[in-house]
Structure 1
Amino acid sequence: MSEHAPLIACHDCDLLQREIPLNPGCAATCPRCGAVLYRNATDSVNRTLAYSVGAALVFLIANWFPIFGIEAQGTLKGITLLDAVRSLWDQEMQLVSTVVFITAIVIPALEILSLVYLLLPLQLGMLPSGYNQLLRLMRLAEPWGMVEVFMLGILVSLVKLTGNFRVVPGVALWSFAVLTLLIAAAAASFSTRDVWCCVDRITGRKVAP
């Protein structure tokens, strides 16, 4: 282990130690508490960007096409997610409408846009403006990383609200299922350490996370 290797503090016990080189797919653990310090993920930036771009395309489909159709008296009417949000609001369920709008539209959109904005310039050898602040915000948002599970719960609730009608699943409903998998895959493959390594290569200097 080189004396010039970067220092890293354990997130659990705060033990200060120097980084060691890892083979692809391996992880370094703290010698005091056994917590995982970092991993040498295989091409995590490229994989996360691919998942994020795919999620962006599926997100557009999920919000453009009907999420389900309501059949009443022989007539089938398609309803998009925004239509469902407006319907809930009109039925004086403002709280439910707001929660659906935030969890199923706003948060997934922000999560996808953040990843693409951060990773696409890095992949092209450029530094995105404000990447320091964005990485800090993404770290603060980590406790909300399971929003895709909540999003599916909201969609189930929307279907249950139409219990008096025959519900026909639409293209967007299946798109949301795919979107959930893509967001989860992007979150699992994203590595802050690998992002900082890309920053190091671009700037030509050591940047501490």
Structure 2
Amino acid sequence: MENLKRICLLIIILFLPGFVASQTILGEVVTDPGNEKYKNNTVVYIENVDARFELPEKNPVMNQKELKFIPKVLPVLVGSTVDFLNSDDVLHNVFSPDSCANKFNLGTWKKGEVRSVTYDKIECVSVLLCNVHPEMEAYVIVLQNPYFAITNEKGEFFIENVPPGNYKLSVWNEKLDAKSKQITVDETGEVIVNFQLKR
């Protein structure tokens, strides 16, 4: 009886006005022996979706903590404003030589302070550096739509709430590369896609 109720509820939801079914794209990236450390922090994303998207209510945050940028890789929706936070007891700087945000240098600031940059160029990669600590490095990846994910240490990724359609699925990695794949997301079942990363 309980299962019947659930099925009826699902049928009602599916036929509600404006309801759009969505699915999950999942899979993993694999590498040649010796490059396993690059599985992590790979961005998997749909290149283009014919729609307009609202920016997140809260700005994405790039932290500076323990003399590192956290996260190492930050994918954002185009138009997003990224907040750069200093959580260390030492002074930090953030600058980028790339044109994703018209090449910027935010200067140097102390713990607890935040400075911000708006990224308005699609599919642009912005390397982040600190002129106080030259060993620090991170990346902001600017994307056209919110259907993206970052791989975990095992190389796994999950892109949720993807509407049905035909898409080009691509990857970005700091050191390695992989061919894009054409995929179809229908209204039933998950889509499993794996990538082989190579130099």
TM-score tier by shorter-chain length is under 0.3
Relative contact order higher in (CA < 8 Å, ≥ 6 apart) = 2
Q: Which has the higher helix share?
A: 1
Structure number with larger C-alpha Rg: 1
Query: Structure 2-normalised TM-score?
Result: 0.25
Q: Which has the higher strand share?
A: 2
